[in-house]
Amino acid sequence: MTRLKLSPRWRKVMRDLSANKTRAALVVLCLLVGLFTVSFLINGQSVLRTAFNREYAAVHPSSATLTVPDGFDQDFVHLVRRMPEIQDAEGRRSTTVRLKVGPNRWIPLDISAFRDFRNIRIDQVQSYSGAWPPAKGEILLERGSLRLAAMPDLSVGEALTVRSADGHESTRCKYPSRRSPSKL
């Protein structure tokens, strides 16, 4: 019987493995756990990326936003929609107000007004809770913005105080939305 000749390095490795079987088993076990963890994370990332992409596409995100300082009418929206390079267009009014988040503490809040909540074609939103569509004078908030506004305990239907650029204050009820526009 011919004996396999190993270099001194491999003879030492084999001797160490046979002399410290428990340690060798623990090393192999650690390597297997690490390999499982890495494969689990890679698979999880793939599943999440697929879900995020599907949810993002479901809101029909806009690829461009045209701001018209003096406003526009529906004829302008129809004109843009008929352009061959444009797949779809929708007009909405936007403004920035201040939201009261505490005594003498205000933060900026971007508001978009929709002509018809039942026919939002681009950057769609849906109600997470509360009435749909929101009634006149109600605000639909993206639920992640409540954490940003330092108001995580705000409940559906609670009053919010907003201040317009001209200093006029008004109180509105709020409802969180399930899907937010693509500008997240």
Give CA angle at 144 (135, 43), nearest 5°.
130
For residue 2, pLDDT beyond 70: no
pLDDT of residue 49: 95
- Give one word for 71, left, alpha or beta, with left for phi > 0 and alpha for psi -120 to 50: left
CA 66/CA 73 separation, integer angstroms: 13
Give CA angle at 120 (117, 126), nearest 5°.
65
What does pTM read for this prediction? 0.61
Q: For the segment 104-132, what is each residue's pLDDT rounded down to a tens digit?
A: 888 888 888 888 888 888 888 877 777 77
Lookup: tokens for 82: 């008929």
Number of residues that this document lists for the chain: 184
